[in-house]
Structure 1
Amino acid sequence: MSFDTFRQDGLPTYYNPNQTPVTEDVLVVGFVFAFVIIAFSFFILIPGIKGWQRFFFFCRVTISLFIGASVTLSNFGQSWEISFISNVTTAYRAGRSGDMQADIGVNIGLRAVNITLKGVPEFQDGDSAAAGERVNYNERFHLGGSQGRTGFGRYAGRINRDFREAQYRGLPYPILWIAEYFVLDGEDIRWGRSYRLAGFYAALLIWLSFPLWLLTNILLTMGTLSEGFSMLLLTGGCMLGANIMYASIRYGSQLFIPFSAHHILYFSYGWSFYLCLVAGLVAVILAIGCHVLHIFFPGELEEFFGLKEEFNQNDLEFHVRPRSAKTLKENTVKRLDNNIIVKRSRRTRRMTVFRATARPHDKVAWE
């Protein structure tokens, strides 16, 4: 008898559809979570670092991960331009007479347009055009790919095909009304084309800044500071170039979508645009500042990046190879591993351990 639960007339079990709206961008949340894990993995090493190097290590990791996270989030973020209006009186969908109250929002990214429609209240009552329904939509229309042919056929652009699919699905009028502004491509109405080109070139520059950021970390870890600062300058320059390219190609400041005399969607830059701008400025300022410090204060800068180790003669004595040290003649100097120098004195018959602060091909500077 337990197998007959939720079954009627011997048919398979039927469950009601569980339609839930999209509340967060899963891809963006995943990237944030990934960088938080990386940061936590580095921060747990801080207690094992001595002295001021603990603070220096924290600064290096924080700044580097901030720039890397900004590159990734600005590339995949959906808020390069945003607009929002509340308590709009609008029609609902085909076959429904009357109006409804709703909040409408638009988020424009580099590759897609997100349109949000949420009823006020979310579960509509009997006086609304959406009576008895839950109004909470979040639809994405993709801008990627080529412009395509005019129309909605198989060779049309991606957003045209998404728009026709939305019409077949019977999405509410406010969503189709907004999406239509990005679909039209004729006369002087070419907002979709301008946003597609702006997002394409901005995304190229941001993608270029990602390997440059990786090279920056590799070069700074290897100790080649000048080359690392140059890569950091290029990273920030590409991010600022993405902002300039996006702001110059698209003409979104002219775009406004009216719903009534008092409810008009005006667009402004979102957090993705400003995150890319701030991270680019930080990278450029740090690169220029570090170049100047490397010229006037090279020793202090090497200490900040953990390239200058503290000298302890007692510790260096353990690095001396006994067999090599015994073969030393009186008043002779021999360079061993790790830039260690051993000198045997004629008077005391004892060996003294030194460390050369200069490069191997330079004159030896004794400490």
Structure 2
Amino acid sequence: MTFYDGIYPFYPQQQTHFIFNLDLLTVILVFLVLVATFLIILPGIRGKSRPFWMFRIILSLFIGAVIVAVNFTSDWAAASVKTNTTYKSFSSAFVSAEVGLHIGLSGINVTLKGSPVEQLNETIDYNEVFRWTDILDKDYTDALERGLPNPILYIAEKFTINSPCGLYHQYRYSGRYASACMWTAFCCWLVANVLFSLPVILYAGYMMLATGTFVFFSLASFATVQNVPVCTFNVGTVSFQTHFSVSFWLSLATGVLCFLIGISVVILDCWMPERIREAFSVGVDDPDEDSSLIGCYLNDSFLDEGNPLPPENVTLTVIRRIIFAIYSKR
């Protein structure tokens, strides 16, 4: 309902704010279950390979968890500022609050937390999500109708499709390409783990290098937004700009770790292939052993006075005995 010409009324009731990303929670729980499963079967591994096996599994699961989780986090870039600002439309009341902007691959989070939290007889603690979808403008309109605080609406308006800042297209497409590269890195990570359980450790090292490469491609894709003209955010009397945050640096560290693992495996496989196969508990091929040859044994009854016959005499003797056995039955 509106007053007239699209002007929305003041909504005094407290709105329910975003609490936690359920997709991120699901990823964390899945990988925690995998870690718990491997720890349960750890006592069944004998010998000195147990510590190395445990370290390798936990490190691999950490890399996989980071690659998947950063697709759902909202802190690839962030900004925060404390200021005095107007609270809601059609009101001249000011509040002291901390305003935060958190940008992820799939959308943004805008936070508003009062300092103190209880002001104007309300609890000022908001965390609102706006996704990179074709209906983001509709979500912004819904936020206007819900009567969200002015700082949240001001920042969200900067990311609408028709905003002069053009942030919507910049962050949406860079985030889309970054997410695609991350999922490709996850596929390479899966293939690398399969190859580590086979006697092809060299190719597992190559796949770890490919994993790190696609992680770096993802970081480069998201970092391209820093080359566009800066759009200034003015909240109250204070302005702020975004900077790379936790997920970006964690992804960078994971990419470097994948590169170090891949390079180490490739070098060790070329230098001491038997030792590295032994470390990963995979079989070592013996070039002198031909598995296609099966040992043959000669019955003593085919030997004359304990002395082996020449190969051609042995064959003739066997044929004669078979023919004799057939005719004797008749």
TM-score (norm 1): 0.70
Q: Distance in 2 between matches of 1:326 and 1:109?
A: 67
Q: Could you tell me whether the CA contact under 8 Å between 2:75 and 2:245 is conserved in 1?
A: yes
Q: Distance in 2 between matches of 1:298 and 1:255?
A: 54
Q: Distance in 1 between matches of 2:272 and 2:295?
A: 37
What is the one-letter code of the residue matched to 2:60?
S
Cα distance change on mapping 1:179 and 1:21 into 2, 3 Å: closer
The aligned residue for residue 136 of structure 1 is 125
Q: Could you tell me whether the CA contact under 8 Å between 2:14 and 2:123 is conserved in 1?
A: no
Indicate whether 1:26 and 2:22 are aligned: yes
Cα distance change on mapping 1:61 and 1:81 into 2, 3 Å: same
Match among 37, 62, 67 for residue 63 of structure 2: 67
Q: Distance in 2 between matches of 1:78 and 1:280?
A: 19
Q: Could you tell me whether the CA contact under 8 Å between 2:14 and 2:122 is conserved in 1?
A: no
The aligned residue for residue 96 of structure 1 is 91
What is the one-letter code of the residue matched to 1:100?
V
Q: What value does the CA root-mean-square deviation take over the aligned residues?
A: 2.5
Q: Could you tell me whether the CA contact under 8 Å between 2:86 and 2:236 is conserved in 1?
A: no
The aligned residue for residue 166 of structure 1 is 143
1:194-209 map, 5 Å = 194-209=170-185
1:254-265 map, 5 Å = 254-261=230-237, 263-265=238-240
Indicate whether 1:299 and 2:307 are aligned: no
The aligned residue for residue 248 of structure 2 is 273
Q: Which runs of 4+ in 1 moved over 6 A?
A: none
SS across alignment from 1:45: helix
1:107-118 map, 5 Å = 107-118=102-113
Higher mean alpha-carbon deviation, 100-109 vs 24-33, is at: 24-33
Q: Distance in 2 between matches of 1:101 and 1:18?
A: 17
Cα distance change on mapping 1:96 and 1:328 into 2, 3 Å: farther
Q: Could you tell me whether the CA contact under 8 Å between 2:97 and 2:112 is conserved in 1?
A: yes
The aligned residue for residue 242 of structure 1 is 218
Q: Could you tell me whether the CA contact under 8 Å between 1:79 and 1:108 is conserved in 2?
A: yes
SS across alignment from 1:75: coil
Q: Distance in 2 between matches of 1:307 and 1:33?
A: 30
Q: Distance in 1 between matches of 2:130 and 2:175?
A: 14
Q: Distance in 2 between matches of 1:293 and 1:257?
A: 51
Q: Distance in 1 between matches of 2:150 and 2:236?
A: 14
Q: Could you tell me whether the CA contact under 8 Å between 1:194 and 1:251 is conserved in 2?
A: no
SS across alignment from 1:276: helix
Q: Could you tell me whether the CA contact under 8 Å between 1:253 and 1:268 is conserved in 2?
A: no
Q: Could you tell me whether the CA contact under 8 Å between 2:269 and 2:276 is conserved in 1?
A: yes
Q: Distance in 1 between matches of 2:223 and 2:91?
A: 40
Q: Could you tell me whether the CA contact under 8 Å between 2:198 and 2:282 is conserved in 1?
A: no
SS across alignment from 1:28: helix
Q: Could you tell me whether the CA contact under 8 Å between 1:237 and 1:280 is conserved in 2?
A: yes
Q: Any unmatched runs of 5+ in structure 2?
A: 1-12, 285-293, 301-307, 309-330
Please report how far the alpha carbon of residue 99 of structure 1 lies from its aligned counterpart in structure 2 after TM superposition. 0.9
Q: Could you tell me whether the CA contact under 8 Å between 2:18 and 2:129 is conserved in 1?
A: no
Q: Any unmatched runs of 5+ in structure 1?
A: 1-16, 125-130, 145-156, 310-323, 331-345, 347-367
The aligned residue for residue 194 of structure 2 is 218
Q: State percent identity of aligned pairs.
A: 29
Q: Could you tell me whether the CA contact under 8 Å between 1:198 and 1:250 is conserved in 2?
A: no
The aligned residue for residue 105 of structure 1 is 100
Indicate whether 1:84 and 2:112 are aligned: no
Cα distance change on mapping 1:226 and 1:83 into 2, 3 Å: same
Q: Could you tell me whether the CA contact under 8 Å between 2:191 and 2:204 is conserved in 1?
A: yes
Q: Could you tell me whether the CA contact under 8 Å between 1:39 and 1:65 is conserved in 2?
A: yes
Cα distance change on mapping 1:184 and 1:18 into 2, 3 Å: closer
Q: Could you tell me whether the CA contact under 8 Å between 2:78 and 2:100 is conserved in 1?
A: yes
The aligned residue for residue 176 of structure 1 is 153
What is the one-letter code of the residue matched to 1:121?
P
* Count of aligned residue pairs for this structure pair: 280
Cα distance change on mapping 1:328 and 1:244 into 2, 3 Å: farther
Q: Distance in 2 between matches of 1:59 and 1:252?
A: 42
Q: Could you tell me whether the CA contact under 8 Å between 1:293 and 1:301 is conserved in 2?
A: yes
The aligned residue for residue 192 of structure 1 is 168
Please report how far the alpha carbon of residue 91 of structure 1 lies from its aligned counterpart in structure 2 after TM superposition. 0.7
What is the one-letter code of the residue matched to 1:31?
V
Q: Distance in 1 between matches of 2:153 and 2:266?
A: 52
Cα distance change on mapping 1:168 and 1:31 into 2, 3 Å: same
